Amino acid sequence: MTTHAGKERADRPWAALAALAPTRAAFATLVLMLLAFAIAAFVFAPPARSQGESGARYTGVASCAGSTCHGRMEGDGTVVRQDELMKWQEPSTPGGAHSRAWAVLSNNRSQFIARNLGIGDPAKAQMCLGCHSTAGTARAAPAEDGVGCESCHGPAGGWLASHYAGVGTNADPDREMRDKHLANLSAGLKKLEDPVVRAGVCVDCHFGSAADGQFVTHRIMAAGHPRISFELDLFSSLQAHHQEDADYGWRKFGAANRRTDHVQMWAVGQATAIERSLALFQTRRGTEGLFPEFYFLDCHSCHRRIFDQAKPVRTGLDNPGRSIPEGMPPYNDENLIMLAAAARLAAPALADQLALRTAAFHKAMATDRPSAVAAAVQLSQTVAALKSAFASRNFSGTDAFAMVDAISAKAISDRYTDYSGSQQAVMGVDTLLNAMVSSGRVTIGAAAGIRGDIDRAYAAVKDPNAYKPSEFQASFGSAVRAIGALR
């Protein structure tokens, strides 16, 4: 079951991705292997509604696939690459995962999950289609497309016909392209270059939403679904099928030298994930039968060994960020920890409020559900304020170094007591290092030189059963020191 799917994933040659994101490919491999193995059978994911409900018309992948459109064999288009279809389909890379999303519903692992849940054919079950195909959210899209272009770029009915018309004059082609992009946006194209918009699109499936069929409950995970792990900037690189050059800068941001701000992407991704988690926790998704929905909680706090002999052995570690009694399963705070680090640097005025409200929320979880929901409401307000502070601020190369310091500061790193928080810390440092390379602060060679340190930190969160917080903190510490030395 899980071993089977785990093997399939681990065996994929991610190397093909290297052409697009050389430094990232190695990480990608690690993260993905990590995810694959974390599969003693673990998942994570549900929705909150961003696609298809507006009545806009879906046209299906075929309508994007013409050989003069996005179906070229080579990425040699003058404006965009035009081989996006091929990249989306690339069989053995994470970039190709979305085209396979529906097909995997017929593999052995899906059959195993479906038998355990008693849901019949998983390829027809809404419980799975919501994330494994565009069709789960938009009736008109063919399920076989899997997660098609329009799942992310938005239904094309309103802009398909107009968006490929060429630039009309040679007077000011850059301005013309920009205007055309703005017109497409108002006709329903999603503004994926905007971190807030992109994060909203991805977390529907890579965390979960309130929509039908977009939530992986603890029961679905217990039936065999992998744990879902996500970091916006890293996963964006893994699936990227575009190139950022001067005309991209013009089209998307109105300036030839503008590029994606990867640190901002990371920070907004953290805020969006916890915002979504807290929002869903407040709804009917927050409970399952008699119990709170375990999906929201720290997996590792329940899934570890127990000793109850005369000389007691504690299996958990004290966590200064969680004011709860011993024996209570804590809320999964992986994104809250990253947010605390980002807030200290990028929005110090809100950092204390975040700390207070995070503590109050953990505490309320030990009282009763109404108090926990009330505390979730308060905390969500702080998260929303932080998210807009990040979204309206540019991050510099110096910020990236300071952010690595913040993530590794003792007050923050003492909170890495479970493997999801620890995994976020490594993905965060990985993203920040890549941002330093792309902003020219650190050379590719220097970054490659400390690859080994980061790989060791990834290795320490690879197997949930072998995870030891103290060992993680040691290998993470040396990765961070290696980055600090590049300053």
- Binders of ligand HEC among residues 112 to 141 (CB under 6 A) are 113-114, 117, 122, 125, 127-128, 130-132
Contacts of ligand HEC in 324-343 (CB under 6 A): 329
Instruction: Tell me the longest C-alpha to C-alpha distance in the chain.
Output: 84
Contacts of ligand HEC in 269-298 (CB under 6 A): 294-295, 297
Q: Which residue in 52, 94, 188, 469 binds ligand HEC (CB under 6 A)?
A: 94
Q: Which is nearer to ligand HEC, 108 or 443 (CB)?
A: 108
State the minimum distance, in angstroms, from the CB of residue 67 to ligand HEC: 12
Residue 250 found at the interface with ligand HEC (CB under 6 A): no
Q: Which residue has the tokens 């991610």?
A: 14
Q: Which is nearer to ligand HEC, 61 or 341 (CB)?
A: 61
Residue 221 found at the interface with ligand HEC (CB under 6 A): yes
Query: At 360, is the secondary structure helix, strand, or coil?
Result: helix
Number of H helices, E strands in the chain: 24, 2
In this structure, are residues 343 and 357 in contact, taking their beta carbons and an 8 Å threshold? no
Please choose, out of 267-275, 301-309, 357-365, 475-483, the segment that lies near ligand HEC by the rule CB under 6 A: 301-309
Q: Which is nearer to ligand HEC, 252 or 441 (CB)?
A: 252
- Angle made by CA atoms 474, 475, 477, in degrees to the nearest 5: 65
Torsion angle in degrees (nearest 10) through CA of 354, 355, 358, 363? -150
Residue 227 found at the interface with ligand HEC (CB under 6 A): yes
Q: Which is nearer to ligand HEC, 42 or 401 (CB)?
A: 42
In the chain, the amino acid numbered 422 is S
- Angle made by CA atoms 130, 225, 32, in degrees to the nearest 5: 100
Q: Which is nearer to ligand HEC, 116 or 353 (CB)?
A: 116
Instruction: Tell which phi-psi region holds residue 330, choosing left (phi > 0), alpha (psi between -120 and 50) or beta.
Output: beta
Residue 293's nearest CA partner among 269, 317, 326, 329 is: 329
In this structure, are residues 269 and 387 in contact, taking their beta carbons and an 8 Å threshold? no
State the minimum distance, in angstroms, from the CB of residue 134 to ligand HEC: 6
Q: Phi first, then psi: what are they for 368, rounded to 5°?
A: -160, 170
Residue 453 found at the interface with ligand HEC (CB under 6 A): no
Residue 8 found at the interface with ligand HEC (CB under 6 A): yes
Q: Which residue in 202, 211, 274, 437 binds ligand HEC (CB under 6 A)?
A: 202
Residue 403 found at the interface with ligand HEC (CB under 6 A): no
